[in-house]
Amino acid sequence: MGKQRPKMSEGEHVVLQFRPRHPAGLPDRRPPATPADPVHDLVPRNQPPDEQPDDFRHRMLANAAAFAFTIALTAVGLWLAMSIAAWRLLETLP
């Protein structure tokens, strides 16, 4: 028995079958799978690197400086918006 397809009018939508492409002859670009090194799996993951210790004080000062800069930038933006609004209001007055 052959495949039967319903008759479609010109205005109906047509659903096309998805056929994935498989390029012939191209090598797979993924690196080959390597077994995990058992020595590195024994090292705890939460240890900081040995190069530099965590400087909490410096990090908090940098965060405070970034926060102050953000507040100052927001204040300047609000002041500028209010100044422009007041300037336009003054222009519309006779």
Question: pLDDT tens for residues 3-52?
Answer: 666 666 666 777 878 887 766 655 556 655 565 555 555 555 666 556 66
At 71, the pLDDT band (50, 70, 90 cuts) reads: very high
Q: What mean pLDDT do residues 69-79 have? A: 98
Q: What per-residue confidence (pLDDT) applies to 10? A: 67
- Residue pLDDT, tens place only, 50-67: 666 778 899 999 999 999
Q: Which of 6, 23, 24 is nearest to 15 (CA)?
A: 6
